[in-house]
Structure 1
Amino acid sequence: MATVQKSVDSSSLAEVIDRILDKGVVIDIYARVSLVGIELLAIEARVVIASVDTWLRYAEAVGLLKDDDPEE
Structure 2
Amino acid sequence: MATTITGKLNKPANVFQAGESTGFGIRLGVKYRDPKTKEDAWCNYSAVIFAKSAGQIQFYQNALIEGSIVEV
Task: Tell which has more relative contact order, 1 or 2 (C-alpha 8 A, sep 6+).
Answer: 2
Give the structure with the higher percent strand: 2
TM-score by length of 1: 0.24
TM-score by length of 2: 0.24
Give the structure with the higher percent helix: 1
User: For the pair shown, which has the larger CA radius of gyration, 1 or 2?
Assistant: 1
